[in-house]
């Protein structure tokens, strides 16, 4: 079902097992928030000089039996069941706390925090009020809270989405399009949205050096972003040669294992936000 309605699949014992596991996980997920099994990890984002400019928050689920369950597994389950709404609310709260705590430290007070927002969460009637409420309580600079959306959000209800984005943007919040190039954005539409950043999907970065088509796509995304007056960040940078190629294309910001893997908030703080810490990669 997660694969969409028109996707015919042969029923195999393996598939049956997978579906049972997913059903179990979906049930367990109901308790995950209350049992404090969800944790925010952070992955730094760096400019061309290797200077830390911000971080993306990536959720982790510590399952009591299965250990770490990756977000690619549990976020779709949370979307399907609607649990993404309370999980997203919790995430916004965590983000507010984090930005408030960063505010008092000169090493972190201008760092941007990006959070991922899924379609169902965005469409929830309380989404906007939760965010504005969070802003009001934590009083961080709203420019520093960055919302990552995916193109899929824009397919069905683009004008409604645009309205919500405008409302939040008028309060200072900023947006990027995540996994850019993998969806079906109407290029004409991009211009009308209050976007700040296009995020080059890591599938194009992975084979950048060997596959001329991927290199061409990455280059095109960079120039598209620049022509629209947007900044551009590449995700999934794992090697220095990829970094160099992207830099030559004019990409200004990077994220990936080459710099660091996502890490617990405390580890991130120890690495970057103490007075003897380095803020470069």
> Please, what is the minimum distance in Å from the beta carbon of residue 93 to ligand C2E?
12
x/- mask, ligand C2E, residues 227-256, rule CB under 6 A, reads --------xxxx----------------xx
- Applying the rule CB under 6 A, the residues between 12 and 41 that interact with ligand C2E are none
Question: Of the two residues 75 and 269, which places its CB atom closer to ligand C2E in the complex?
Answer: 75
> Please, what is the minimum distance in Å from the beta carbon of residue 113 to Mg ion?
12
x/- mask, ligand C2E, residues 139-168, rule CB under 6 A, reads ---------x--------------------
> Please, what is the minimum distance in Å from the beta carbon of residue 115 to Mg ion?
8
- CA nearest to 240, candidates 272, 200, 203, 208: 208
58 interacts with, out of Mg ion, ligand C2E, none, CB within 5 to 8 A per kind? ligand C2E
Question: Of the two residues 156 and 191, which places its CB atom closer to ligand C2E in the complex?
Answer: 156
> Please, what is the minimum distance in Å from the beta carbon of residue 13 to ligand C2E?
27
| Exposure b/e, 257-268, CB count within 10 A at least 16 = b | ebbbebbebeeb
> Please, what is the minimum distance in Å from the beta carbon of residue 106 to ligand C2E?
27
Give the interface with Mg ion as residue ranges (CB under 5 A).
Answer: 116, 148, 178-179, 235
Neighbours of 87 (CB within 10 A): 22
Q: Can residue 116 be called a binding residue for ligand C2E (CB under 6 A)?
A: yes
In whole angstroms, how far apart are CA 217 and each of 207, 214, 228?
A: 11, 5, 16
Q: How far apart are CA 26 and CA 149, in angstroms?
A: 23
Q: Can residue 98 be called a binding residue for ligand C2E (CB under 6 A)?
A: no
> Please, what is the minimum distance in Å from the beta carbon of residue 16 to ligand C2E?
25
Question: Of the two residues 151 and 178, which places its CB atom closer to Mg ion in the complex?
Answer: 178
Q: Can residue 72 be called a binding residue for ligand C2E (CB under 6 A)?
A: yes
Question: Of the two residues 101 and 239, which places its CB atom closer to ligand C2E in the complex?
Answer: 239
Residue 7 exposed, middle or buried by CB count within 10 Å (0-12, 13-18, 19+): exposed
Question: Of the two residues 64 and 70, which places its CB atom closer to ligand C2E in the complex?
Answer: 70
Neighbours of 116 (CB within 10 A): 18
- Residues within the interface to ligand C2E (CB under 6 A): 43, 58-59, 70-72, 75, 91, 116-118, 148, 178-179, 202, 235-238, 255-257, 262
């Amino acid at each position: 079902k997660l694969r969409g309605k028109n996707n015919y699949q042969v029923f195999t014992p393996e598939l049956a097992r997978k579906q049972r596991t997913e059903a179990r996980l979906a049930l367990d997920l109901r308790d995950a928030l209350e049992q404090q099994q969800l944790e925010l990890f952070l992955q730094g984002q760096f400019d061309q000089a290797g200077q830390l400019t911000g971080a993306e928050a990536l959720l982790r689920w510590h399952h009591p039996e299965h250990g770490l369950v990756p977000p690619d597994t549990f976020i779709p389950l949370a979307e399907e069941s609607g649990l993404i709404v309370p999980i997203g609310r919790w995430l916004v709260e965590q983000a507010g706390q984090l930005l408030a705590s960063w505010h008092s430290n000169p090493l972190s007070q201008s760092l941007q925090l990006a959070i991922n927002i899924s379609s169902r969460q965005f469409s929830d009637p309380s989404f906007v009020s939760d965010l504005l409420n969070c802003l009001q309580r934590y009083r961080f600079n709203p420019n520093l809270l960055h919302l990552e959306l995916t193109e899929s959000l824009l397919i069905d209800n683009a004008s409604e989405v645009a309205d919500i984005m405008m409302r939040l943007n008028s309060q200072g919040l900023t947006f990027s399009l995540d996994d850019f190039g993998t969806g079906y954005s109407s290029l004409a539409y991009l211009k009308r949205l209050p976007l700040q950043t296009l995020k080059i999907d890591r599938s194009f970065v992975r084979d950048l050096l060997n596959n001329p088509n991927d290199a061409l796509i990455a280059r095109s995304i960079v120039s598209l972003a620049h022509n629209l007056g947007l900044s551009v960040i590449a995700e999934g940078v794992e090697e220095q040669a990829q970094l160099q190629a992207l830099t030559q294309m004019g990409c200004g910001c990077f994220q990936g294992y080459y710099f660091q893997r996502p890490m617990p908030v405390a580890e991130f703080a120890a690495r970057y936000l103490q007075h003897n810490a380095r803020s470069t990669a």
